[in-house]
A and B are shown apart, each in its own frame.
Chain A
Amino acid sequence: MLYRENGQFKTSYRADQQIFPIAQDRIAIGIILAIAFIAVPMLASDYIFRAILIPFVIMALAALGVNILVGYCGQISLGSGAFMAVGAYGAYNFFVRFPGMPLIPALILGGLCATFFGILFGLPSLRVKGLYLAVATLAAQFFSDWMFLRIKWFTNNSDSGSVSVTNLQVLGMPIESATSKYIFCLAILVVVALLAKNLVRGAIGREWMAIRDMDVAAAVIGIRPMYAKLSAFAVSSFIVGMAGALWAFVHLGAWEPAAFSVEISFRLLFMVIIGGLGSIMGGFFGAAFIVVLPIVLNQFLPAFMGIFGIEVSTAGVSHAELMIFGALIVWFLIVEPHGLAKLWSTAKQKLRLWPFPH
């Protein structure tokens, strides 16, 4: 009853083309932002920040980037972990080698390194399609694993590629406490999400979607496949690289190449598929699901098995976690192959007619 667009007449093109054309949506987004920026920092504990909220925000950012490539442009990528690694080590190099380099420009430069790397490994997409491309992007993954382990220059000559950063500041304010880290990441996420939303509903986003739906047909109507595909790789790897830099700088603090292994690429792909391909909202849902699920399993599995009198060892818990994680993903794909975003839009559709569905 509350969620109706009746009586909201658009009198200008501007009003017709806004991101949230329905007034209730705008109010809801305002409330969510207020909760995220004001209420959550006041209520959440240090553990919740470090274990759930910060990883969630950064992974949502990365998933957003992956979604642009996989969901909007249809190029399956298993190399997202590599783009994160390049972003992280790129930002690290700028941060360490140029004394006095502020944090935000370092992050952006890291993202630009990832962009360059992404375009380089996006070149095969001009020839290779579908699953062949997915395997080809693994080349980026293994190359970056090797590069940061073996080429000492990238890691400032540290052993085994493990590096750390300290003394993070933004505009003179230290990013030390969990709350400030959370707010910083969230601010970046909001800005990038807004940019991404506007990109995908603009001309270039439409080109990406045309390429995704049928690349030959898109080329026939005058979309340049090379420009569209490489721009998707560039934008996507920029965002993923920024997320990687945040993950390393803000969440981990000290890291080594193994932090960005092929495992993280798989998880990012899970996020976009479970969240919903081709939907900005989807990335958030997927990230929340994948970040929270292992923590929930880890917390509740021993207690749950205890009810049946079964003692579970730590190794047993991690194995059971793998099994449940795998089974849930399969179940999810079967039940809702279009992802959580689809459930969300179905719910909204239902809500518009509620309580009189006919």
Chain B
Amino acid sequence: MAFFLETLIGGLMAGMLYSLVALGFVLIYKASGVFNFAQGAMVLFAALAMARFAEWIPKWTGIDNPIVANLAAFVIAGAIMFVVAWLIEKLVLRHLVNQEGATLLMATLGITYFLEGLGQTLFGSDIYKIDVGMPKEPIFAFDTVFQGGILINKEDVIAAAIAAALVALLSVFFQKTSTGRALRAVADDHQAAQSIGIPLNRIWVIVWCVAGVVALVAGMIWGSKLGVQFSLTTVALRALPVVILGGLTSVPGAIIGGLIIGVGEKLSEVYLGPFVGGGIEIWFAYVLALVFLLFRPQGLFGEKIIDRV
């Protein structure tokens, strides 16, 4: 029982991290109808920028305080993501308005290649580490209930808390601010939003900026967990089933989907994996999402798809 709970909690924590990446997909899809394959590349790019600046700043300025260095690196990486977002809107999306979904998908794949190349050219292609002072040692909870308690990774708890805080912040931003209201209007109907005077191009820049910041936070957390390296881009592929499970247009869907996928992956790997040779995590998530889709084609919380002739 204790082992089951341990796996379950581990899955929930991993799920929070998936939702963080999935959130980036949902934000952009909701506001511009672009399925942004480049989210993984953005995570890598942001993480690389952050890791390298955290390394460079003490060298350049002589400040030895790791908190200041990390904070400065975070701000600089955030600024870089803003520039990237602005350039993507300016150079790519603006010219592809009203194209089909497949074409836009391909364009973001092109952006993926470009960002992967650019990131590694600018910041190097070794494995770097981000050290934001996350505690590594595990804690034991419920040791009064179970013998030996349940092993929980402290780092995971903090990461999940950051993810939850970010989600709360985003939902306040979407619900309470006027920019958030404009974003929701654009998401509902491009043309109607434009006709009441919402500038579409500016909204798209904002959305990509927000997605860039989400990518930066995701990159920071994943980077400090796994190390900043090229394989960070595959995190996006792991997060895709989360998005389709939760629904492409739903922020809560990304969170719930992430939790379901995280738990499903861990439980299947532990309880099912040994029978079929292990390593089933990656496709199990997809198959799980696929089975869900057969019953609800728009995902758990997605808007109902209505076809009119």
* Chain A residues with a Cβ under 8 A of chain B: 70, 76, 124, 127-132, 134-136, 138-139, 142-143, 145-146, 149-151, 214-217, 220, 262, 266, 269-270, 273, 277, 315-316, 319-330, 333-334, 337
Contacts of A150 in B (CB 8 A): 276-279
Please tell me which one of the listed residues A131, A142, A277, A320 contacts residue B248 in the complex, with CB atoms under 8 A apart.
Answer: A131
| 19 pairs, A vs B, C-beta closer than 8 Å | A127-B294, A128-B293, A128-B294, A129-B297, A131-B248, A134-B35, A138-B240, A139-B290, A146-B279, A217-B309, A269-B109, A319-B121, A319-B125, A320-B117, A320-B121, A322-B116, A327-B114, A330-B114, A333-B99
**Whole-angstrom distance between the alpha carbons of A143 and B288 in the complex?**
12
- Please indicate the chain A residues that have their CB under 8 angstroms from the CB of B307 in the complex: 215-216
Q: Does B63 contact A (CB under 8 A)?
A: no
Partner of A135, one of B103, B244, B305: B244
Q: Which residues of A contact B161 (CB under 8 A)?
A: none
Interface positions, chain B 292-309, Cβ under 8 Å from A, are 293-294, 297-299, 305, 307-309
Pair A337/B113 contact, Cβ less than 8 Å: no
CA distance A326 to B110 in the complex (A): 4
Closest chain B CB from A268 CB (angstroms): 12
A136 CA to B107 CA, complexed, in Å? 20
Other A-B contacts than A270-B109, A319-B117, A325-B113, 8 sampled, CB-CB below 8 A, are A127-B294, A135-B240, A135-B286, A139-B287, A216-B309, A319-B116, A329-B107, A329-B109
**Whole-angstrom distance between the Cβ of B33 and the nearest chain A Cβ:** 9
Cβ contact within 8 Å between A149 and B279: yes
A70, A127, A323: the one contacting B117 at CB < 8 Å is: A323
A109 to chain B minimum Cβ distance, whole angstroms, is 25
Is residue B165 contacting chain A, with contact meaning CB distance below 8 A?
no
Encoded as 1 (CB less than 8 Å from any A CB) or 0, chain B from 251 to 267 comes to: 00000000000000000
Cross-chain contact B290 with A337 (CB below 8 angstroms): no
Q: In whole angstroms, how far apart are the Cα atoms of A151 and B283 in the complex?
A: 14
Alpha-carbon distance between A215 and B106 when the two chains are bound, in angstroms? 23
| B: interface residue count bin | 35 or more
B186 within 8 Å of A (CB atoms): no
B272 contacts partner chain A, Cβ-Cβ < 8 Å: no
Interface centre among A76, A128, A134, A330 (most CB of B within 10 A): A330
* Minimal Cβ-Cβ distance residue in A for B115: A326
Asked if A220 meets B240 with Cβ closer than 8 Å, knowing A138-B286, A316-B121, the reply is no
Tell me the minimal C-beta distance from B201 to chain A in angstroms: 16
Query: Interface on chain A toward B: helix, strand, loop, or mixed SS?
Result: helix
CB <8 Å contact, A326 and B113 = yes
Whether A327 contacts B106 in the complex (CB less than 8 A), given A139-B290, A151-B277, A321-B117, comes out as: no
* Chain B residues with CB under 8 A of A124: 290, 293-294
Q: State in angstroms the CA–CA spacing of A230 and B84 once bound together.
A: 41
Contact indicator A334/B294 (Cβ below 8 Å): no
When C-beta atoms are compared, the residue in chain A nearest to B35 turns out to be A131
Contacts of B221 in A (CB 8 A): none
Please measure, in the bound complex, the distance between the C-alpha atom of A322 and the C-alpha atom of B112, giving whole angstroms: 9
Q: How far is the CA of A327 from the CA of B87 in the complex (A)?
A: 13
Give A325 to B298 CA distance when docked, in angstroms.
33
B283 and A334 contact, CB distance less than 8 A? no
Q: Are B99 and A330 in contact (CB under 8 A)?
A: no
Interface pairs A-B: 9 shortest CB-CB: A326-B113, A322-B117, A326-B114, A323-B117, A139-B286, A329-B110, A330-B110, A142-B283, A150-B277
B176 on the interface (CB 8 Å rule)? no
- Are A131 and B105 in touch, CB under 8 angstroms? yes
**Chain B, residue nearest A134 (CB):** B105
Q: A76-B102, A337-B99 are in contact. Are A146 and B243 (CB under 8 A)?
A: no
Is B268 in the interface zone, CB < 8 Å from A?
no
Q: Which B residues lie within 8 Å of A316 (CB)? A: 121
Residue among B99, B287, B297 making CB contact with A132, cutoff 8 Å: B297
